[in-house]
């Protein structure tokens, strides 16, 4: 998994790490049991304070997304957020609306988003 930070986005670095883990999980590029970089290695790779990575990993552990085994590493779990179909649809609609609005503010069209999503699919 490759992390990329946008220090000009206004989004805290730890939040960007969390969001990228969730995005990689949603896209299938990482799956249950996959090992994530160590705190130290990710901090070096991203040129950030290790405490920033610790904060992101800790939040992901608290929500059940990650598990850490002393001496072996940090791994993605197979925890699934339980929601009803209606809740799932409502959450998806809200996220898509927010994303499209944000993209529109940046001058990005829905067609460009669709094309890029197709390119990203495995």
Spell out the domain ranges in the chain. 13-76, 85-120
CATH label, 13-76, candidates 1.10.1740.10, 3.90.420.10, 1.10.10.10, 1.10.730.10: 1.10.10.10
Q: According to the model, what pLDDT value does residue 83 have?
A: 67
Q: Which residues pair with 73 in a beta bridge?
A: 69
CA dist., res. 45 & res. 1, Å (int):
12
Collect all residues with Cβ–Cβ distance below 8 Å to 80 and sequence separation of at least 6: none
Which structure tokens are listed for 14?
């730890």
Instruction: Indicate left, alpha or beta for 52 from its phi (over 0: left) and psi (-120 to 50: alpha).
Output: alpha
* Predicted confidence (pLDDT) per residue in 75-89, tens digit: 999 877 666 788 878
Q: How far apart are CA 15 and CA 83, in angstroms?
A: 23
Percent above pLDDT 70 for the chain:
96
User: Furthest-apart CA pair in the chain: how many Å?
Assistant: 47
pLDDT at 51: 97
Do residues 122 and 28 lie in contact, with contact meaning Cβ atoms separated by under 8 Å?
A: yes
């Amino acid at each position: 998994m490759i992390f990329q930070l946008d220090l000009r986005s206004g989004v805290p670095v730890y939040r960007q790490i969390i969001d990228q883990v969730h995005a990689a999980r949603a896209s299938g590029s990482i799956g249950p049991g996959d090992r994530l970089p160590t705190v130290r290695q990710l901090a070096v790779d991203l040129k950030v304070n290790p405490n920033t990575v610790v904060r992101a990993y800790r939040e992901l552990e608290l929500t059940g997304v990650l598990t850490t085994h002393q001496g072996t590493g940090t791994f993605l779990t197979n925890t699934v957020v339980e929601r009803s179909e209606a809740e799932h649809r409502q959450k998806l609609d809200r996220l898509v609306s927010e994303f499209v609005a944000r993209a529109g503010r940046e001058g990005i069209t829905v067609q460009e988003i669709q094309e890029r999503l197709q390119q990203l699919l495995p």
